[in-house]
Amino acid sequence: MNAVIEAKGLNLTFETNDGPVHALSNIDLTIENGEFVSLIGPSGCGKTTLLRVIADLEQPTGGTILVNGVTPEEARLSRAYGYVFQAAALYPWRTISGNISLPLEVMGIARSERKARIESNLELVNLSGFEKKFPWQLSGGMQQRASIARALSFDPDMLLMDEPFGALDEIVRDHLNEQLLKLWAQTQKTVVFVTHSIPEAVFLSTKIVVMSPRPGRIHEIIDCDLGADRPLDIRETPKFLEIAHRVREGLRLGHSYDDREPAES
Amino acid sequence: MTERQGVSGFFLDRVLPVGVVVLVILMLWYGFAVLLNSKFELDQAARAGTEISTRDLVAKTMAQERPVLPAPHQVATELWDTTVNKKITSKRSLVYHGWVTLSSTLLGFLMGTLLGIGLAVAIVHSRVLDKSLMPWIITSQTVPILAIAPMIIVVLNAIGISGLLPKAMISTYLSFFPVAVGMVKGLRSPDTMHMDLMRTYNATQAQVFFKLRWPSAVPFLFTSMKIAVAISLVGAIVGELPTGAVAGLGARLLTGSYYGQTIQIWTALIGAAVLAAILVWAVDIVSRIVMRNMGMAR
């Protein structure tokens, strides 16, 4: 195992009209190759910001971060990761296969190769047969699956997911969580996953990073050693509940002074 | 409101509402024709020293040669006469004049659309151009076109350009504006997530433009083009006024007013309105086809 993400003393302060906002404060985090790491915490704890820093969509104001041993920018330029947003963010004028083709076209991959990759990735997310459909013809869950296929299409080593199932109902969410685990087992990719659902984090992760707000920081890192085989009913086992309890305690402790702080907008 | 199906549905949803409005307009039009034209008839009767019955008065107001306001059927007759009963090549054919205006409208519209798109692309990609060009683009439209049109015609004539192009330039002057403004908005319309996605792919600026900005802007383009094509026609007609009224719908308006041919003026007006409606409708049809092919029509 080797570290794919190494952050040391990472800081990010946004200058706003209401003064500086400490989105990230003194973040130390190492993520090993092939791990499934969840970032969990209340709104404003900087979990999405941290993911965006890894993706080189935000610039840190202090500290160091290495992705695959290089800066996030170099990692982005070498197309090291696929990013899945909160919304599916499919291009409405492209069909499902057109959307999955998008990163491949940008990266200059030949047509025949694109066709093969579209096919195999649609199969991976169980969307075979929907190639010709436009996004609006698909349900929210299917759209998000298509966006995962899009992120995987160029075979990046790493998958960065920003609350990908946050907008979906619980039944669809459970189903997609199961599929995501299978996918992770199949592809052996490193996944960094932002969520604010405790069961989701425990069910999916090998490591749970509990974060707390103002300033955004890591409160606790909890190992989640439930093993590789995780059926949905693992969520009723004592071990699962115990980890979930620890995460909840961590969130509560990290959050305890919240009453004295002004409500976040 | 739910759409009704079938022939009766078409009648109730489309024909009836439009028909009622047309009917009301026609009634008002006839009313005003009688009202405005009766003064002349009353004067005539008074001069001849005869009494005129209301019935005769109404009948006569609708059959004057140079009415203040021609009755709808007079305009319709003239319209029929100058489109169907005249050879297209005849100088008295409205189709001939309509074609003259249409050709400069289309040329001006094409140039205006291209200019508008070009400006929008430049503005979206350069902060400096955004700051420097935008105020001038807006200022250009605050100048009354009636004031500027003769100058464009005269200046271009002086350097040897005459005929179609000067008129088309006035159409361009008017039509580039909605396209430029609409396209600036359209090219900036992709949301942050779509833009971020391109960044994660390390896409070039050209790729962002052709794969994201341009397709996002297409609905904006067609909306702008509908406005642009209608004012292109206005520009072409205005452009025909200072050229000495040789040909075109503008020329028909001008000669009509020289000789007090109100029926001719109104016929040219209706002709222009019909032409504008057809142009807007044509752009709309193209828009629907393109949108359907892009999967954006449901």
> pLDDT over 90 for what percent of chain A?
45
**B183: nearest Cα among B142, B148, B227, B149:** B227
Counting the structural domains of chain A, the total is: 2
Q: What CATH number is given to the structural domain containing A11?
A: 3.40.50.300
* Angle, vertex CA B217, rays to CA B216 and CA B221, nearest 5: 145
Chain B residues whose C-beta is within 8 A of a chain A C-beta are: 191, 193-194, 196-203, 207, 211-212, 215, 218, 294-296, 298
Same domain, A172 and A55: yes
State whether A150 and A89 are in the same domain: yes
**Interface contact A91-B198, CB threshold 8 A:** no
> Are A97 and A151 in the same domain?
yes
Neighbours of B140 (CB within 10 A): 14
Nearest CA to B94 among B202, B249, B287? Answer: B249
Top pLDDT among A124 and A92 is at A92
Query: Is residue B151 scored above 90 in pLDDT?
Result: no
Q: Express each pLDDT in A54-105 by its tens digit.
A: 999 999 998 899 998 899 999 999 888 999 999 899 999 999 999 999 999 9
Please tell me the predicted confidence (pLDDT) of residue B2: 57
A89, A106, A107 ranked by CB distance to B194: nearest: A89
pLDDT above 90: residue A18: no
CB contact under 8 A, B199 and A57: yes
Bridge partners of A3? Answer: A32
Identify which of A110, A113, A139 has the alpha carbon closest to the alpha carbon of residue A126. A139
- Residues A14-38: what's their mean pLDDT? 89
Closest Cβ opposite residue A79 in set B198, B201, B215 = B201
Pair of tokens at residue B41:
């008839």
DSSP A139-194: -HHHHHHHHHHHHHTT--SEEEEESTTTTS-HHHHHHHHHHHHHHHHHH--EEEEE
On whether the CB atoms of residues A189 and A160 are closer than 8 A, the answer is no
Q: Which of A155, A175, A206 is the last residue of a domain?
A: A155
What are B166's two structure tokens?
A: 């000067």
Contact A93 B218 (CB under 8 A): yes
Q: Label residue A195 by pLDDT band (50, 70, 90).
A: very high
Domain identity same for A62 and A165: yes
Which site among B192, B194, B202, B290 would you substitute to test the A interface, given the most A Cβ atoms closer than 10 Å to its Cβ?
Answer: B202
pLDDT at B82: 85
What is residue A256's predicted lDDT score, i.e. its pLDDT?
Answer: 52
pLDDT tens profile B30-49: 999 988 988 888 888 888 88
pLDDT at A22: 86
Residue bearing the bigger pLDDT, A223 or B296 = A223
What is the pLDDT, as a whole number, of residue A263? 47
- Together in a domain, A59 and A181: yes
Q: Does residue A60 sit at the B interface (CB-CB below 8 Å)?
A: no
- Among residues A130, A155, A180, which one ends one of the domains? A155
Q: Examine the domain organization and report whether A110 and A61 are in the same domain.
A: no
pLDDT reported for residue A264: 46
Residue A18: is it exposed, middle or buried by C-beta count within 10 angstroms (0-12/13-18/19+)? exposed
User: Residue for token digits 């076109």?
Assistant: B145
Compare CB distances from A134 to B198, B212, B295 and report the shortest one's residue: B295
Helix-helix angle A140-152:A170-187, to 10 degrees: 20
What's the pLDDT tens digit per position in B218-235? 999 999 999 999 999 999
Give how far A95 is from chain B: nearest CA, Å: 8
Mean pLDDT of chain A: 88
Which residue does chain A place closest to B217, by CA atoms?
A93
Give B86 or B284, the one with higher predicted confidence: B284
DSSP A70: B
Nearest to B193 among A89, A102, A103 (CB): A89
**What's the ipTM?**
0.86
Verify that A4 and A73 share a domain, yes or no.
yes
In this structure, of A111-115, A154-158, B5-9, the range with the lowest mean pLDDT score is B5-9
Query: Residues of B9-20 as b/e, b for ≥16 C-beta within 10 angstroms?
Result: eeeeeeeeeeee
Do A184 and A246 belong together in one domain? yes
Q: Does A175 touch chain B (CB under 8 A)?
A: no
Report, as an integer, the average pLDDT of B267-290.
Answer: 93
Q: Indicate if the pLDDT at residue B244 is higher than 70.
A: no
Is A122 found in the same domain as A13? no
Residue located via tokens 């009755």: B71
* Structure tokens, B57: 């008065």
Average pLDDT over residues A106-114: 92
The domain containing residue A36 runs over which residues? 1-41+48-80+160-265
Residue B196 has pLDDT above 50, yes or no: yes
Residue A217 pLDDT? 87
Q: Do B196 and A83 touch (CB under 8 A)?
A: yes
Q: What pLDDT, on the 0 to 100 scale, is given for residue B179?
A: 96
Longest dimension (CA), chain A: 60
B295: nearest CB among A77, A92, A154: A92
For residue B188, pLDDT beyond 90:
yes
Among A155, A187, A209, the domain-final residue is: A155
Query: Homologous superfamily of B94-293 in CATH?
Result: MetI-like (1.10.3720.10)
Q: If you average pLDDT over each of A219-228, B172-181, B244-253, which comes out highest?
A: B172-181
Give me B123's structure tokens: 């503005």
Provide, as residue numbers in chain B, all residues whose Cβ is less than 8 Å from the Cβ of A56: 199
Packed helices B127-140 and B164-187: angle between N→C axes, nearest 10 degrees:
130
Mean pLDDT of B92-109: 91
CA B35 to chain centroid: 30
**What proportion of chain A, given as a percentage, has pLDDT over 70?**
95
- A93: contact with B, CB 8 A cutoff: yes
Range A227-230 contact pairs with CB under 8 angstroms and sequence separation of 24 or more? A228/A185, A230/A181, A230/A203
pLDDT of residue A1: 52
pLDDT exceeds cutoff 80 at A165: yes
What integer pLDDT is reported at residue A105 of this predicted model? Answer: 94
Assess whether A117 and A26 both reside in one domain: no
Q: Quick one: pLDDT band at residue A114, thresholds 50, 70, 90?
A: very high
Q: Which residue has the higher pLDDT, B205 or A262?
A: B205
B196:A57 CB<8 A: yes
Q: What mean pLDDT value characterizes chain B?
A: 89
Do B197 and A77 count as a contact with CB atoms less than 8 A apart?
A: no
pLDDT at position B297 is 64
Interface check A108 vs B, CB under 8 A: no
- What is the structure's pLDDT at A38? 93
| Mean pLDDT computed over B91-119 | 92
